[in-house]
Structure 1
């Protein structure tokens, strides 16, 4: 699971820390996975080094992707860019896709998936005609129904349309080649995307970690990782593990 590196205070300490809301850890754990935090490494580790050691990748939510990453100027409402995280997550995503590693992008993570493949983003959803609420006040999630596309991985995981918790003001605009929209909000905003082909590469604009009574999406990622393990790891290695 990708994280920020942010200054954090605890007791007498005020130091840089790898930061991720604990709900993400709960989501992975409850779905049967083992969470591993993947903050921007600074120097040393490469995407190849890291992804050699994990079975799936979760691109977690967070700040807006820097618009310059897809050739645009930042909107007046855009968050200050997290340059280190943008660079790290885009590199991780491209490496994961190259090797067919199961991947789930959550909110910002869905946008990273699109940008990594050459797509662009709507920088401020409220500017769209007839846009509905995709978040309320600071720290206040909106709830709405998403329509899933029949036959998609998202529809298969959720059993059809679903009521979700969301908190975003940006969204996927131009879909890159190979990535298709598989869920929409009632106002037409893209809420889910996935990569064509046999692998599991899915992004959703909503926050499944906010509804831990519904683990189906994360369970689908864990199942995809286990299936890939079963298909690619030799029996002798499994016996040693």
Structure 2
């Protein structure tokens, strides 16, 4: 059981910023129920709470700029979470046999939230699918199936087993300032960044040369990683960085 009081690493007297996290919408079984549900693995919200934030879940819902703006009005930061593959039509490709069936509602909702968040300078953290949503939303492309590119499946072992891989950060990047020059990170992705969108820069790669993080240069917090930092709750540095950026945004 998590001891929230002992786990919070920030000074809560300064107030807990509100962090929105996007969610899945899938058929879910629990007890006697087998129903469509909006859900997110608890380690995402655990990480936000342990880092000093308040977590709010954002299920897919009707998309228009005003709706997205109303949701963002109540937030101090946004997390685009992991999940199923983005529709390859969004970056001008036909689906690979290994690509997931599109979740059009989630794609549209996350892109709408992301674009409105960027318009207002809201701090954003992307995780796994999140880095891909960011890149595609800004005009970049993806490798649909890394084993075709690399000749191995070392980034995604399958069956819910996360692979630990070393990544190297780019000196001077925001990411390097948060986690140092290298880190061993938990990965579970069969897709990855191909062409980097204009306005983004690579801030980490792995031994295969795969892009493992993107960020936006400048003072704003726009950072996305291809790995799953929520799977390492003993290392909250990315989430703490997000919460601190959210506090600064709230003060503005």
Say yes or no: TM over 0.5: yes
Structure 2: stretches of 5+ with no match in the other structure? 1-20
Taking the aligned partners of 2:125 and 2:112, their CA distance within structure 1 comes to 15
1:162 paired to 2:183: yes
In the TM superposition, 1:80-229 aligns within 5 A as 80-129=101-150, 133-229=154-250
Structure 1: stretches of 5+ with no match in the other structure? 233-241
1:76 paired to 2:97: yes
SS at match of 2:55: coil
Aligned partner of 1:30 in structure 2 is 50
How many residue pairs end up in the alignment?
Answer: 231
Change (3 A) 1:190 1:43: closer
Q: Which of the numbers 39, 45, 48 marks the counterpart of 1:19?
A: 39
Aligned partner of 1:6 in structure 2 is 26
Taking the aligned partners of 1:184 and 1:138, their CA distance within structure 2 comes to 24
Could you say what the CA RMSD is over the residues aligned between the two structures, in angstroms? 1.5
Taking the aligned partners of 1:51 and 1:131, their CA distance within structure 2 comes to 40
SS at match of 1:98: helix
Q: Structure 1-normalised TM-score?
A: 0.92
In the TM superposition, 1:40-59 aligns within 5 A as 40-42=60-62, 46-59=67-80
Taking the aligned partners of 2:165 and 2:134, their CA distance within structure 1 comes to 23
Taking the aligned partners of 2:34 and 2:210, their CA distance within structure 1 comes to 40
Q: Following TM superposition, by how much is the alpha carbon of 1:197 offset from its aligned partner in structure 2, in angstroms?
A: 2.1
Deviations 1:147-196 (A, max 9, x none): 00011111100022100000000011101111011000111000000012
Taking the aligned partners of 1:18 and 1:140, their CA distance within structure 2 comes to 23
Aligned partner of 1:62 in structure 2 is 83
Taking the aligned partners of 1:113 and 1:43, their CA distance within structure 2 comes to 17
Change (3 A) 1:197 1:131: farther
Q: Structure 2-normalised TM-score?
A: 0.88
Change (3 A) 1:132 1:5: closer
